[in-house]
Amino acid sequence: MAILKAFKGFRPPAEHAKDVASRPYDVLNSKEARVEAEGNPYSLLHIIKPEIDLPADLDEHDARVYEKARENFDVFRLNGWLVQDDKERLYIYAQTMNGKRQYGIVGCAGVDDYLNGIIKKHELTRNEKEEDRMKHVRITDANMEPVFFTYPAVKAIDTVVEAYVNQHSPVYDFTAVDGIGHHFWVIEDDATRDNLIELFKEVPYTYVADGHHRTAAAALVGNEKRRQKPDYTGGEEFNYFLAVHFPDNQLSIIDYNRVVKDLNGLSKEEFLRKLELVFTIEPKGSEIVKPDRLHNFSMYLDGKWYSLSAKPGTYNDSDPIGVLDVTILSQLVLDNILGIKDLRTDKRIDFVGGIRGLGELVKRVDSGEMKVAFALYPVSMKQLIDIADTGNIMPPKTTWFEPKLRSGLVVHQLD
């Protein structure tokens, strides 16, 4: 039974919501964040990427960067750019992309749910990235950004959400510069709030869709605070952290592609001959080719596209990991042919989110920066949930959820 908790959120006034709302901290680097926040003192990037307000040569993990985050959070509250609600609320956050809208419930998830496996994961986290976000949570004493969760859809929950948004106007309603629509409701009436909390008890598990490091950091800091206060009751805010919960039937995962710097000493002809042992290869010419089914890949090499279909016997559809196209590509090509053993650390490979389009793969290869590119068929929600349910871990850079949540529409304070 998953926890959903209401809380007194800190939110921007409606006139500043679009300016406060920012992309998540981990989808843009410091240089990009400086450009994006330029001329906009309201942007949450001043808190979640506070190095943008410090000298450019300062390491982003310097203690002064975290201190700046706390200082800027204080400024936002003092200036009334983030104001706390007077009652514990739940919120509804909807996003519109390409005419499709998805509705999430914004509320707190439980630290206990993370520790006890009610919140399920499908990716490994890296200690240094966890510690970075833990420092940020500790020093701001807040979850500045929500994590992106999904759960098995419950029709009764969908009905309550649909009824509420049809009967009430959103408090925030804007389109960001990337064309994504963002719509945000505050659930004002206690009956609807309490009904959703009760209905959420029907949800057996929730799943981290995006934000594994933020999830781990939030839960671990909450657990730290428990150890510091052994007389805690369980009701304190630090026992919970900020999440947006979307039903699984409203979400879609897009492709997450790979580019590689060299052919591991092979000529183009030698490389293709090795590929032919495990793939059926169809040359496609210079026009972009997109994979059209599971176990079908597109490859861009030397100005030409190829369709690669994995031959039967080279994969295991009964294995939740073996069925994944990222596994097939990693084992048959990246490891066996190109000698890339560790996707997390090898500098010869890079990853390109499908939101950039396959034209980005052409650009990276044609520039000479990369030698070959591979486009993959997207992972399904069923595959993600199967992997999490069986306690397995996806290979790195497998899922790319779009649209991304905007940070800053609501903040959760821990004390």
395 confidence band (pLDDT: 50, 70, 90): confident
- Predicted pLDDT at 54: 97
On whether residue 324 sits in a domain, the answer given is yes
For the beta carbon of residue 61, count every other beta carbon within 10 angstroms.
Answer: 12
One domain, residues 310 and 203: no
CB 221 within 8 A of CB 135: no
One domain, residues 286 and 362: yes
One domain, residues 182 and 270: no
Rounded mean pLDDT, 308-321: 93
One domain, residues 177 and 194: yes
Q: Looking at the 3D structure of the chain, how many domains does it have?
A: 2
One domain, residues 327 and 308: yes
Rounded mean pLDDT, 86-104: 97
Q: What is the pLDDT of residues 184-237, one digit of tens each?
A: 999 999 999 999 999 999 999 999 999 999 999 999 999 999 999 999 999 999
Rounded mean pLDDT, 388-396: 89
- The answer to whether residue 126 scores a pLDDT higher than 90 is no
Cα–Cα distance measured from residue 299 to residue 307, given in angstroms and rounded to the nearest whole number: 6
Of 330, 195, 310, the closest CA to residue 260 belongs to 330
One domain, residues 64 and 181: yes
On whether residue 129 sits in a domain, the answer given is yes
**How much of the chain exceeds pLDDT 70, in percent?**
100
Q: What is the pLDDT of residues 237-248, one digit of tens each?
A: 999 999 999 999
- Predicted pLDDT at 360: 96
Residues contacting residue 229 through CB under 8 Å, at least 6 positions apart: 236
- Predicted pLDDT at 61: 94
| pTM for this entry | 0.90
Rounded mean pLDDT, 141-152: 97
One domain, residues 118 and 97: yes
On whether residue 2 sits in a domain, the answer given is no
One domain, residues 132 and 146: yes
